[in-house]
Amino acid sequence: MRININTVSKRFGNFTALSDVSLEVPEGSLTALLGPSGSGKSTLLRIIAGLERPDEGAISIDGQDITAARPQDRCIGFVFQHYAPFAHMSVRENVAFGLRIRKRPRAQIRARVDELLSLVGLTTFSEQRPHQLSGGQRQRMALARALAVQPQVLLLDEPFGALDATVRAELRQWLRRLHDEQGVTTVLVTHDQEEAMDVADRIAVMRDGVIEQVGSPQEVYDRPASDFVMGFLGPVSTVYGQLVRPHEVTVSLEPVAGGIEAMVSRIVLLGFEVRVELELPDGSSARAQLTRTQTSELELDRGDIVYVRPPFSGGASPDAALARLTA
Amino acid sequence: MRISRRATLSLRAIALLYLFALLLAPLVVVFGRTFEHGFGIAWAWVTTPAALSAFWLTVAVAAIAVPLNTIFGVGCALVLVRGRGRGRGVLDVVLDLPFVVSPVIVGLALLLVYGQDGWFGRWFVDHGIRIIYAVPGMVLATIFVSLPFVVREVAPVLIEIGDEQEQAAATLGASGWQTFWRVTFPSIRWGVAYGVVLTTARALGEIGAVLVVSSNVPGSTLTLPLLVYQRSSEVGPGSITGAYSAATELAVISLIVLLVMTALGPRRGES
């Protein structure tokens, strides 16, 4: 189901959490709301869920206005950062909750819960209490609970934030597979750009209550709409005031067209890659990221004079970029 | 901090002595005096018509006050902790009034409001309803003094469990009522249970407020505490034994309430 967010604003006292936000989440997509804490991404998700009311604007699912609808009437599944398991119920009862509320026949509930428990790999844990599960298991239980009622929209609030790195990567893959199989329109909130790039097919980058850019992972990474988006999605370096990705900076020993003279001030080994720290003639510093092979071919050493050339930014012509660089 | 063995022992001794002197010794003396002329005499004193009437009246007053205060208390705790409206600060303060106002003043206040010349008193008198110097006034007084216990036990539990489980239930389609019974109540039930125990104990034992609004007629408007009070101030053979017998009866009822609740649930720390 398609979600439309139309000029939504939300304030908490003096703090503006969302300011005139509009976004369309296409049917069947997995969209990530990506941004630092306080950017309004969780508030936006909670507004879609109906857990918060927008001060202004409207929300619709599949063309139907749901701005005033209660959470229980929205046909959504919501997964909380800290899972919010029902502590006094077993895993099975947790997953069955939504179906029991809907008064489905017992046999049907049993079959559906069994199916979900095996989908999330918790069949052997069905009679345990949530506190007996690990963080990853609790998260999978929360997902099964949300999926049990076959929601039109699945909303995930920092779902992997409280897990360790290995489990997080595993669950990400699992979520992606699940999404591909079930095709439920999904919105995921995260502050982790790697996570967003990994699972989402669309990313909305948020900052200070505003959406800075929406696009595919490749679009927002390769053609960032602002310095903020560029900086948030990957490492950046400044060369004469221009923001560049360090791995896109070319380093050569001979003068090249558009190249800037620089002195190598430090070489840092980062495993497969090497970070070269440079000092430019105007005294500013910049960084380039090279592979080890490139570095050894260049025989770089501290104090060497090299020529660096930043990439030409997407829209600007090479000449204009050059003029700006050398101005 | 390290405490020497000697200091530990003397601290324990002081604590035990304190408990004994203030809690156990008086109880033991009451029990002892109750049975000093034999069990049969004590039993006779608690089975007089006045004593039986007092017993049933005490139970009846508690049976009205405790459920009402439980429902009201849980509701108030939900409003205080989960509500968003204004005036919660005022409610919070008002709820503590029964803790800080002397029960005698509560009785007098009821007299002023519901008495013959009170605010609403006239209306009730005109409609033939007697509140002051009758059982309804005693129930009101008991409700007033035992009001805050459930709220004060339940509110901290509500704060501790947070509202994420309730939000999760809402996103899964549960109505407010379903969420309360299936999610909130199971999480706060031990807080409610302790609140009920404290409310019951207070309702059974209240004397100050009830004394003011009761007509203190044996056999009709005497509760057990009032019976103890009346018998202990009477002169005459054996009446002091009667007072002790009623006191023991009251203490036993309260202990049973406490034991039943303790047996039913886990300790305060668990959940």
Which amino acid, A111? A
Span B120-143, pLDDT tens digits? 888 888 888 888 888 999 999 999
- 3-class state of residue A60 by DSSP: strand
Q: Which residues of A touch B182 (CB under 8 A)?
A: 86, 97
Please check whether residue B123 is in contact with residue B131, taking contact to mean a CB–CB distance below 8 angstroms. no
Which pTM value belongs to this model? Answer: 0.81
> DSSP assignment, residue B146?
T
Nearest to A78 among B161, B171, B187 (CB): B171
pLDDT of residue A50: 94
Closest chain B C-alpha to A91 CA, distance in angstroms: 14
Task: Tell me: pLDDT of A320 over 60.
Answer: no
Q: Is the pLDDT of residue B240 over 90?
A: no
| B114-124 tens-digit pLDDT | 888 878 888 88
Decide if B98 contacts B106 (C-beta within 8 A).
yes
Closest Cα to residue A241, out of A308, A193, A286? Answer: A286
Please tell me which of the candidates B164, B173, B186 has its beta carbon nearest to residue A98.
B173
For residue B84, the chain A residues in CB contact (below 8 A) are none
pLDDT at B219 over 70: yes
Tell which wins on pLDDT, A294 or A125.
A125
pLDDT band at B265 (very low <50, low <70, confident <90, very high): low
Whether residue B268 is predicted with pLDDT greater than 60 in this model: the reply is no
Residue B173 burial (10 A CB sphere; 0-12, 13-18, 19+): buried
Of the listed ranges A198-207, B45-54, B106-115, B229-238, the one predicted with least confidence: B229-238
Two tokens, residue B186: 């199971």
pLDDT exceeds 90 at position A214: yes
| pLDDT of A77 strictly over 80 | yes
B182 CB within 8 Å of a chain A CB:
yes
Quote the crossing angle between the two packed helices B88-95 and B148-161, to the nearest 10°: 130
The band of B1, judged by pLDDT with boundaries at 50, 70 and 90, is low
Do B140 and B210 contact (CB within 8 A), yes or no? no
Q: Comparing C-alpha atoms, which of B9, B193, B1, B225 is closest to residue B103?
A: B225
Across chain B, mean pLDDT equals 89
Question: Does residue A321 carry a pLDDT above 70?
Answer: no
Q: What is the pLDDT of residue A243?
A: 83
B 44-83 residues with CB < 8 A to A: none
Question: Which of B163, B165, B171, B178 is the best residue to mutate to test the A interface, defined by the most A CB atoms within 10 Å of its own CB?
Answer: B171
A35-44 per-position pLDDT tens digit: 999 899 999 9
Give CA–CA dist A31/A179, Å, rounded: 11
Instruction: Decide which of B1 and B48 is more confident.
Output: B48
| C-alpha R_g of chain B | 22
Q: State the best of A70, A75, A101 to mutate against chain B, taking most chain B CBs within 10 Å.
A: A101
B-chain residues within 8 Å CB-CB of A78? 167-168, 171
Q: Residue A206 has what pLDDT?
A: 96
Q: From the DSSP assignment, how many helices (H) and strands (E) are in chain A?
A: 10, 17
Model confidence pLDDT, tens digit, residues B160-180: 999 999 999 999 999 999 999
Whether A286 contacts A280, CB under 8 Å: yes
* pLDDT (0 to 100) of residue B266: 60
pLDDT at B206 over 60: yes
Residue A314 has pLDDT above 60, yes or no: no
A84/B186 CB distance under 8 A = no
**Mean model confidence pLDDT for chain A:** 88
Query: Is the model's pLDDT at A317 over the cut of 50?
Result: no
- Band the pLDDT of A270: cuts 50, 70, 90: confident
Q: What is the pLDDT of residue A326?
A: 47
Report pLDDT for A315.
Answer: 40
Give the percent of chain A with pLDDT over 70.
Answer: 95
Location of structure tokens 């923001």: A243
CB pairs under 8 A between A and B: 60
Q: What mean pLDDT do residues B82-104 have?
A: 90
**Any residues with CB less than 8 A from the CB of B144 and at least 6 apart, and which?**
B98, B106, B110, B209
User: Is A318's pLDDT higher than 50?
Assistant: no
CA of B183 vs chain A CAs: smallest distance (Å): 7
Mean pLDDT value of segment B222-232: 91
Mean pLDDT check: name the lowest of A246-260, A263-277, B76-90: A246-260
Nearest-CA residue of chain B relative to A52?
B167
